[in-house]
Amino acid sequence: MDIVKILQTYVQKMINNTPGMKILLLDDNTTQYISLIATQSTLLSKEVFLIDKIENTSREKMKHLKCICFLRPSSKSVQLMIDELRNPCYGSYYLYFSNILTKSQIERMAEADQQETVRELQEFYGDFCAINSNFYSLNLQNYQIFGDSLSTWNNETFKRTVEGLRAVLLALKKRPMIRYEKNSALGKRLASEINYQIQQESQLFDFRRYDTPPILLILDRKNDPVSPLLNQWTYQAMVHELIGINNGRVDLSKISDIKPDLKEIVLSADQDVFFKNNMYLNFGDLGVNIKNYVNEFQNRHHNSDNIESISDMKKFVEEYPEFKRLSGNVSKHVTLVSELSRLVSQNSLLEVSELEQNLACVNNNNDLKEVQNLIKRSNITNESKIKLVLLYTIRYGRQNINEVKELVQLLLQNGISEEQTRTIEQLIKYAELNERQNEETTTSTIFDKGKNVFKGLKGVENVYTQYTSKVADIIQSLLKGKLKDQFYPYIEGSIRDRPQDIVVFIIGGATYGEARDIAKLNEEIPNVRIIIGGTSIHNTKSFISFVKNATSVL
Amino acid sequence: MSAYLARSKRTFGVKAQDNNNNSSENENLLNVNLSIDNEVEYNKRNVVLSPEASLLTMDSISLKNNYFECPICNEEIFGIFQLNNHLDIVHTENQSGNVILSIFRKTQKITEDITGAKTNIKNVQPIINKSHWEKSSIDDKCSYPECKKQLGIRNGKQNCYCCGKLFCDMHTNFSMRLSELAKPDSNSPNWFKVCQSCYTSREGYNNAEGQHKSLTHIFLEARKNNIEKLCLEENLLILRLEKLAKSLSVLHEKKGVSVNQRAIEQSVVQWKEDSSTYQCYRCNSRFGKVRNRRHHCRLCGQLFCNDCLEELPLYRDIKDETTLIGTTKSCNHCKRIVFRQKEMNTKEKLPQEAKLYEQIKFNQSIVDSMLPKYNELLLKLSLKSSGTFSKDSYQEAALYREKLIKNFHQIDLLSKRILKLPANSKYHRTLQTNIAKGSIIFLQNNMITLKMLPEKDEINVINEDIEKTKRIKEINVAMEALNDQYSMLQGYYQDALFNRKFDNAKILEESIQDITLEIEKLKVELEEINF
């Protein structure tokens, strides 16, 4: 269940099947998928000498090249493919589509292929971004999720989501039992549509029998608005929260006097061992590791300084490529981590985060006072201030709506625009905070009270990472057989056995923090495998704008 | 009560194996719980027991129904074995050993009361082959690679139901459905504890291959049908084109004679009436009287606007491009169909970089085949580096290395040549640089990591060898030079004789003798070295 490896296997299969000089044609979607999992050098070493987009109409005729196309079967891409086949630029075509083609699409392409250049047509279900080995995203951040109310889907997005999630299941070779959150209308619709699709495509979904069927758990972001609002302290999550990861790339060009080759860096667990080992570590441990990493590099550097004998030289030459890679990697991570720590101290993120965690985890009488104090401070960003009020609203807003109003006033006094403070109302609407008043005894409360008591007994390891995301709690109770059918119903049938494979999908987007919690669970409980993903990946900024968009349709 | 029963059964199943090397805590259990070996005994005894006997012992309703309530989560579970499993899987994390033990103590008495019921419980337990189980001893270690924990009360001790080896609790916290022969079987109704290796190595568990579906045959079938239709149309259009070309060529020959060109064109295909449509057949743009006038495609006769019409070359012989006799107009669609075969059959001239790349590929394939052999030789050499390895393999390795380096060099040269090629477009340039980049990556992966031959001081034997080969080389060079001289002198000598310059001939004869002597000397030395 390594989702990155599955996509890589797909790509390898495409490329290895056709020896000779090749061009890889992609569309807008598949470019993102491929760029996350394959490097130019791996493609070059497999004789892929050109990579281009099918949208590019100024391509030249090169009949001596073989053309491998990996496209999403959107009507636009298929039309472009048809145009391409009418007037082929390359000698032969090997077509791979990332999702299920309709019969008419196949026929139209067959009709267009008058010069008989197509050699292969296959469906490879890699229709998603594989970010970590257990974390995927459908990359729908630019899609409007909601239709005309918060309980209906936008039709286009719905279709796209169903196709994406269906592809995830096909790529993983899972025919799951589907569970969803009772209070999510969106979840129910998606669950029943996926179930219908599985039955429709029963030939495709015909896999070997499992000991126990896998579970597809469809969650709704509105039931956990806390996770995307918290400051993150583990490496990958932190980079996304503070700087932003876009398609595995981090834009550092805003840092003053940065080296040109570090303006945009790639963070990939697949190609970067240091990142792989540290992506889930918290900032403190990361600091120690990066220091060791630098030391290791310096030792090597020192060794290479005093080349005295021929054998030293030989050794140096043999290790040189490794050495060069290391030096690039060291400077990359050092730059990144120092930028992170600069941002942390500049924006007093440690203090903010401590209060955030307290708001998220424990009831505390001083919370109001502390929020007020931080709002008055000048070295804290407006974004952090709003975030604190949002978290305060989520925890106390039900009982003390007046206090929230006071806090909004305070925000306005401290130079935050009315437009920005409107976020608070919007979040209340999105997360249905007002409707939750009578639900305190059920599982759909946002804060799990029992959990906190338990935590108190165990003692807190780290103030800044005491919050574990709700999805991790849900998974744990699912594994213990305690996830009540009443609140997490099955769309069809039910199963008693403890699940061995779980696929989580969050409508409204997942976070790197959640991915990290899931990765930790995978490590701690080796007899179960969990994969998590969502319509997109959030940090605070994107989540707030998502909430804004969601409520703007109303 | 049924709950207690279930609990005691669990302890029976799991703890009993610890009895071999456990502490005093468990001593009082010994009389009730027997070791695994004894369990088998019990099974045998069960067979002997008559059904009446077992009926006598059934004193509770729950036993009759075989439904049990889990003492922790109150879930109803069929059969005691499944309950045992349920407890193992669902409630392990929360419970420390002490809790289990205290529950056990409480229930122990009750168990003793109904020990007879045990025979009944046995009937529920699924049959599974245990003959391959590793026997438990005092000093057992976990069989999981890299674990090696001492097995016993602290780490637990458990046979994997699948492979039968002994493991600690942590590495048997997995369950799988197994058949009666203890093989993985998803159709089996029964769950068993297995070890991590068996769990992760079962078929299809670590499959990285996603689902895929080949539509090639459907596509080819659809294309075949389409092409058949297309061929009919193609033949028709080609016939028209040939007719048109013929008639028009006649027209060209009869220069001056006024023949209505339009009449000829219309004789090939019926033209659509101008009044029949107001729109272009292809782009649906409206025709006007002055702007956007009507035009006929000379091959299909439909009406098109000027933008949708293309120039159509006319050949006397369609297969021969040199017989061009003029042009006419046709629609895009007809033109494509008429020249379909031609387009398919024309081979673009292979660009220079493609030719060079072929050579690079050839060199790379040599490297790919030689590199593993070379590495194997090196491994052999390094294993024998104590001093007694054959000089043959060293020389062979050296030879391989030389050849490899030569190939690398060749690849490097070729890729540089590709870079220097003229490029007529940006696109070509990218292709060329990428080919060069690709070969550099190949070199990086293979050449820079190419291991050096063993060091000289590591292998003194080789040293001598090298000296010898060096000397042989020197001799060979010298011999060659001498031979050259010899033949040269011979030529001069013959010349001198021919021109009757006997004085010169005498001197030349002497030097020839000197040289033959020298050659003889070298030959002897060479033979000495070789033996």
Evaluate whether residue A230 is within a structural domain. Answer: no
Which pLDDT value is given to residue B235?
87
Which pLDDT value is given to residue A447?
58
Split at pLDDT 50, 70, 90, the class of B11 is very low
Strand partners, A24: A51, A68
**Closest residue to A113, CB basis, from B212, B223, B437:** B223
Which tens digit of pLDDT belongs to each residue from A356-402?
Answer: 888 887 777 778 888 888 888 888 888 888 989 998 888 887 777 78
Mean pLDDT across B64-91:
66
Evaluate whether residue A464 is within a structural domain. Answer: no
Which tens digit of pLDDT belongs to each residue from B251-281?
Answer: 766 655 556 777 777 777 788 887 888 888 8
DSSP annotation of A282 reads B
Count CB-CB contacts under 10 A for residue B332.
15
The burial class, CB within 10 Å (0-12 / 13-18 / 19+), for A452 is: middle
Tell me: do A303 and A341 sit in the same domain. yes
B204 touching chain A per CB within 8 A: yes
Q: Which of residues 138-177 of A touch B (CB under 8 A)?
A: 170-173
Tell me: do A35 and A137 sit in the same domain. no
Tell me: do A245 and A342 sit in the same domain. yes
C-alpha A457/C-alpha A163 separation (Å) is: 45
Residue B210 scores a pLDDT above 50: yes
Residue A485 scores a pLDDT above 70: yes
Tell me: do A265 and A380 sit in the same domain. no
Tell me: do A113 and A164 sit in the same domain. no
Q: What sign does the CA torsion over A338, A339, A341, A346 have? A: positive
Which pLDDT value is given to residue A317?
63
Alpha helix (H) ranges present in A414-469? Answer: 418-430, 449-458
Evaluate whether residue A336 is within a structural domain. Answer: yes
Mean pLDDT across A240-247:
90
DSSP annotation of B369 reads H
Chain A residues close to B191, C-beta within 8 Å: 211, 497
Which pLDDT value is given to residue B7?
42
Which tens digit of pLDDT belongs to each residue from B469-484?
Answer: 777 777 888 888 888 8
CATH code matching the domain that covers B352-454, chosen among 1.10.3470, 1.20.81, 1.10.10, 1.20.58: 1.20.58
B452 touching chain A per CB within 8 A: yes
Tell me: do A23 and A118 sit in the same domain. yes
Tell me: do A364 and A432 sit in the same domain. yes
Structure-token pair, residue B449: 């990591």
Mean pLDDT across A458-477:
77
Interface test with B, best of A6, A7, A21 (most B CBs within 10 A): A21
Rounded to the nearest 10 degrees, the angle between the axes of helix A382-396 and helix A401-413 is 170
| SS3 state of residue B72 | coil
Q: How far is B521 from chain A (nearest CA, A)?
A: 38
Mean pLDDT across B494-505:
79
The more confident residue out of A466 and A158 is: A158
Amino acid at site A134: N
Pairing mode, strands A501-507 and A529-534 = parallel
Evaluate whether residue A516 is within a structural domain. Answer: yes
Query: Whose CA is closest to B306, among B318, B320, B290?
Result: B290
C-alpha A236/C-alpha A282 separation (Å) is: 9
Evaluate whether residue A412 is within a structural domain. Answer: yes
CATH code of the domain covering residue A331: 3.90.830.10
Question: Which of A95-99, A187-191, A370-374, B249-253 is least confident?
Answer: B249-253
From A283, A314, A346, the end of a domain falls on A346
Mean pLDDT across A15-44:
90
Tell me: do A267 and A254 sit in the same domain. yes
Q: How far is CA A251 from CA A29, A35, A243, A245, A264, in A?
A: 20, 15, 7, 8, 5
Tell me: do A121 and A60 sit in the same domain. yes
Containing domain of residue A38, as a range?
3-126
CA angle B319/B323/B328 to nearest 5° reads: 90
Reported ipTM: 0.83
Contacts of B3 (CB under 8 A, 6+ apart): B68, B69, B70, B71
Contacts of A48 (CB under 8 A, 6+ apart): A15, A22, A23, A24, A68
Mean pLDDT across A153-160:
93
A120 touching chain B per CB within 8 A: yes
Q: Do A2 and B425 touch (CB under 8 A)?
A: no
Which pLDDT value is given to residue A28?
92
Chain A residues close to B230, C-beta within 8 Å: 114
Mean residue pLDDT across chain A: 86
Tell me: do A318 and A415 sit in the same domain. no
Q: How far is A437 from chain B (nearest CA, A)?
A: 29
From A110, A126, A142, the end of a domain falls on A126
Mean pLDDT across B111-116:
54
Pairing mode, strands A249-251 and A135-137 = unpaired
- Closest chain B residue to the Cα of A13, Cα to Cα: B209
Looking up tokens 């290391």 gives A326
Q: CATH for B2-201?
A: 3.30.40.10
Chain B residues close to A198, C-beta within 8 Å: none
Which pLDDT value is given to residue B30?
41
User: DSSP letter string over A161-197?
Assistant: HHHHHHHHHHHHT---EEEE-TT-HHHHHHHHHHHHH
Alpha helix (H) ranges present in A46-184? Answer: 75-86, 103-112, 155-172
Q: How many domains does chain A have?
A: 4
Q: How far is B519 from chain A (nearest CA, A)?
A: 39
CATH code of the domain covering residue A102: 3.40.50.2060
Which pLDDT value is given to residue A301?
73
Contacts of B47 (CB under 8 A, 6+ apart): none
CB A30 within 8 Å of CB A98:
yes
Structure-token pair, residue B363: 């060199």
Mean pLDDT across B273-300:
81
Q: How far is B446 from chain A (nearest CA, A)?
A: 11
Rounded to the nearest 10 degrees, the angle between the axes of helix B460-498 and helix B502-530 is 160
Tell me: do A366 and A378 sit in the same domain. yes
Evaluate whether residue A291 is within a structural domain. Answer: yes
B2-201 and B227-345: same fold? yes
Evaluate whether residue A485 is within a structural domain. Answer: yes
What is the H or E stretch that residue B482 is in? helix B460-498
Domain residue spans of chain B: 2-201, 227-345, 352-454, 462-530
| SS3 state of residue A69 | strand
CB A510 within 8 Å of CB A194:
no
Looking up tokens 């020896």 gives A19
C-alpha A531/C-alpha A81 separation (Å) is: 33
C-alpha A129/C-alpha A396 separation (Å) is: 37
Radius of gyration of chain A (CA): 25
Chain A residues close to B91, C-beta within 8 Å: 480
Residue A184 scores a pLDDT above 80: yes
Which tens digit of pLDDT belongs to each residue from A283-298?
Answer: 888 888 888 888 888 8
Which tens digit of pLDDT belongs to each residue from B348-396?
Answer: 778 888 888 888 889 888 888 888 888 887 777 776 654 555 666 777 7
Tell me: do A304 and A399 sit in the same domain. no
Mean pLDDT across A154-172:
94
Evaluate whether residue A229 is within a structural domain. Answer: no
Which pLDDT value is given to residue B90?
64
Count CB-CB contacts under 10 A for residue B71.
18
Which pLDDT value is given to residue B452?
65
CATH code matching the domain that covers B227-345, chosen among 2.40.50.140, 3.40.50.2300, 3.30.450.90, 3.30.40.10: 3.30.40.10
From A429, A458, A487, the end of a domain falls on A458
Which pLDDT value is given to residue A26?
94
Strand partners, A217: A179, A504
C-alpha B263/C-alpha A426 separation (Å) is: 76
Interface test with A, best of B219, B356, B425 (most A CBs within 10 A): B219
Which pLDDT value is given to residue B125?
67
